[in-house]
Amino acid sequence: MLYEIRFHGRGGQGAVTAANLLVRAALLEGKWGVSFPFFGAERRGAPVTAYARISDGPLKIHQQIYEPDIIVVLDPKIPSLVDVSDGLKDDGIAVVNSPSKPDNVKASKIYFVDATGIALELGLVVAGWPVVNTSMLGALVKATGIVSIDSVISAIKEWWKGRVGELNAKAALRAYEEVKAVE
């Protein structure tokens, strides 16, 4: 079993942290994982790509992911700037932050959730930007089953203690419950 996941977002939305948290959740389940970022201009709002590989055995590949099994789109406007579906496998899955069915992403299976709305409702805002990474992780694990929502919540609560951890865990759980598949 090997899953290759590419996260697309903007600086400040938490794409890199999402990849790290996904790997931590996998490690909690006894799986193997590696995550790493790819930056262009390193500033808030600039397009950012992060990667994660999850496997049931040791990982020896440490390079960008060119043909992902799954893409996670944290910013609904990114597909108008970047071809997020580039290289996505024919049976690939897209999980998109969108309040309604996204029409600018191509994938075999598409799931969407209003992660921005969840972040705003819970007050997960940093420097005026809704932070949607934990919501998107909840949607991702519901859509794919890569890891359990319980492992994601544990990883989140390890990463952030106290109220911030609780709010991020709540965001992940809400997105897990609210994610929808495009019919």
pLDDT tens across 21-50, in order?
Answer: 999 999 999 999 999 887 665 566 778 899
For 162-165, the CB contacts below 8 A with 24+ separation are none
R_g of the chain computed on alpha carbons: 15
**Share of residues in the chain with pLDDT > 70 (%):** 97
Residue 110 has pLDDT above 70, yes or no: yes
Residue 145 has pLDDT above 70, yes or no: yes
Encode 115-151: b = buried (16+ Cβ within 10 Å), e = exposed: bbbbbeebebeeeebbbbbbbbbbbbbbbbebbebeb
Residues 143 and 125: their CA atoms lie apart, in Å, by 25
Residues 2 and 5: their CA atoms lie apart, in Å, by 10
Overall average pLDDT of the 60-75 stretch: 93
Fold of 2-181: Pyruvate-ferredoxin Oxidoreductase; domain 3 (3.40.920)
- Name residues whose C-beta falls within 8 Å of residue 170's C-beta, 6 or more positions apart in sequence: 122
Overall average pLDDT of the 157-177 stretch: 97
pLDDT bucket at 84, cuts 50 / 70 / 90: very high
Residues 180 and 183: their CA atoms lie apart, in Å, by 9
Q: For position 38, what pLDDT does the model report?
A: 78
pLDDT tens track for 122-142: 999 988 889 999 999 999 999
Residues 107 and 105: their CA atoms lie apart, in Å, by 7
Q: Under DSSP, is residue 179 helix (H, G, I), strand (E, B) or coil?
A: coil
Phi-psi group of 104: left, alpha or beta (phi > 0 → left; psi -120 to 50 → alpha; rest → beta): alpha
Consecutive H or E run containing 173: helix 162-178
pLDDT bucket at 15, cuts 50 / 70 / 90: very high
Overall average pLDDT of the 146-165 stretch: 97
Q: Indicate the domain borders of the chain.
A: 2-181
DSSP 113: E
Residue 53: what residue type? R
pTM for the full predicted model? 0.94
